[in-house]
Amino acid sequence: MKFDIITIGGATEDITFYTNEGILIDNKEDVLRQKLMAFEYGAKIKINSSYSTFGGGAANAAVCVARLGLKVACVISLGHDDRGERILKNLKKHNVNISLVQLTKMAETGFSFLLVGQDNEHIVFSNRAANAKLQISKFQLSKLKNTKWIYMTSLSGEWSKALDSVFSLKKAKIAWNPGHIQLKSGMGIISGYIKKTGVLIINKDEALELVASNKAYKNKPVKYLNDIDNLLKIIKKWGPEIVLITNGKYGAKAFDGKKLYYQKVIKEKMKIDTTGIGDAFGSSFIVGLNIFKGNIKKAMLLASRNAASVISKQGAQNGLLTKREIDFIYKK
């Protein structure tokens, strides 16, 4: 079977808990850590409520793509355990092809604890577990060669080997939402991959981290680095065809080397959980490029609609829209 999109990265079961006892701190001394959440050391923290849902960048993106009507498979690594079985069952329920899933012996399936504070913003404590064992096999590579798009998310373990395999492909377009480990490695390590990226998808904090890792911009004023237009133009010079930067409540911007595009945030009916909105926005954007024949403006609108819906439901996947629910965008 030929797929429209194949996603690569993590899959987890997420345990989310809410508390109002944290304190948000403005940290103006560190441009890479501008907001901190603090708790009293040694205290017992009250949890208001908790939920168990599914997550992981590749799994979230795959479910998003499937619900929007495209053929999708995901390359993920799961353990031989009950958690892995639940993740597989969930993917199949959403019509995600699981033929490329890697089952890893002697490793538990990944999971995350998500701490949600007063403003429904979250911090993720992630146990990569089997996700760190992910390897790109010859069989998986043969399928990746023939897909229209590859959507790659955070990787761990021997991630550079996986990137080498994926970026060696000549025909498939690659959308890359690099993870914390890749960004921390700095431009000296990942510049070659960025140069070959079709769409680079990052949030503002990640863009700051990436640009600040380059010697040419390390000592630039905070005001300069806080300007998304500057970040877009700098990163675009490094080679990706399109750079997309999300910025929370301030919306998102994209740059293709010719024009700057802006998409405001679409107000959600109710803000329940911000988990997974980045995955929803990024993967919806690629679906939009695929459906709307490269129309960045329409793709960003679709992405914003889906992100708003995800915020209104608990978990990273429960609020994802279907093609029928956003059909009015297709008709424009």
CATH architecture of the domain formed by 5-20+50-325 = 3-Layer(aba) Sandwich (3.40)
Could you read off the pLDDT of 95-145 as tens digits, one per residue? 999 999 999 988 999 999 989 887 777 788 989 999 999 999 999 999 999
pLDDT of residue 35: 87
At 192-201, the pLDDT tens digits run 999 999 999 9
Q: What is the CA angle 232-236-240, rounded to 5?
A: 125
Beta-bridge partners for 204? none
pTM of the entire structure?
A: 0.90
Q: Tokens at residue 152, please?
A: 């790659």
Q: Name the residue ranges covered by the structural domains of the chain.
A: 5-20+50-325
The secondary structure of residue 223, as a DSSP letter, is H
Q: How many other CB atoms are there within 10 angstroms of residue 145's CB atom? A: 13
Amino acid at 188: G
pLDDT in tens, 201-231: 999 999 998 998 888 888 888 889 889 999 9
